[in-house]
Structure 1
Amino acid sequence: MLLIGYGNPGRGDDGLGPALAEAMEKLGLAGVTVDSNYQLVVEDAEAVAHYPVVVFADADAGGPEPFSFRTIKPQAGLGFTSHHLDPRTVLAMAQELFGAEPEGYLLGIRGYQFDPLQESLSPGARSNLEGAVNFFQTWWRQRSCLTSAGGSEFAARSGKEET
């Protein structure tokens, strides 16, 4: 599995994606490769192509508290520029360019303050990040148990996710 946390830590709560990636890196979950960047770029499609499951983690200014978690499907042409991509576009590029069809998920962590030149998370965002970290660990463990037992599908049910 690949976890990509993206966002700008220099803009307050916009750094929630990289903060989640950092927390997961410290936990060292077996089978989870962690990457972090300011934004999604064309090169991410190649990285995504090497994994059966990809979770994109980002700050969400208007989403539910503390976070949302949902399945995403490849969709070409969304927000495409050479400098910033939508996660669904990254999946579409991995499919088109590399023939890869990983399962895709978006973990949107609710943020509140996106001020330029603020390099710390707001108290509410820190709390939401903690909830997202706990959720991800539980989801990964349950998914790993089902996979090792021969299960093929897992639908996370935290009461705070979207499908």
Structure 2
Amino acid sequence: MSSDPQHSVDKRGRNAWIVIGGLFAIGTFLAVFVVFPNLKSSAMTIQTKIVSLDEAGKGMTAEECVKDVVGWYASCDAMPSMCLQEVPKAVAHCLKAKDRAAECAPYEKVEVADARWTFERCESIGYGKDTKDSDTRKACTASWRALEQFCKTHQKSVIWGVK
């Protein structure tokens, strides 16, 4: 029984490659069978809501659009990061459903640098600092900013994906 140092180094190298290969296989399995289906399902859920807002927005005021989208975000069963990312787009789709010239008049005067404005608006609809979920507060402020942007651009929302 001779202990060959070269043999033990080769064996450790082979074991390392087996571990690396196994980790790669597990990662691929998770990506294909867990992450991708969840991503696809989330995208379909979000798209369904956005399409419904094209029609629902015709019967809503601008503020109701904001409240509806924030409420949707709070109950969104898709990936939270994807829901949050799509909040401004959802608001823009709802607002684009009809002419909002009269409703936009007060928002054209809002100072962009005044972040307090969005927080006050969120508090007025029940999503203030007492809201436990900070992402819902982010969705609320993003919704009001989307409304402000929509109005300041004379109803030509500059949000990608909204025509």
TM-score, normalisation: structure 2: 0.28
Relative to total residues, which structure has the larger strand share, 1 or 2?
A: 1
Larger radius of gyration: 2
TM-score, normalisation: structure 1: 0.28
Q: Which has the higher contact order (CA 8 A, sep 6+)?
A: 1
Relative to total residues, which structure has the larger helix share, 1 or 2?
A: 2
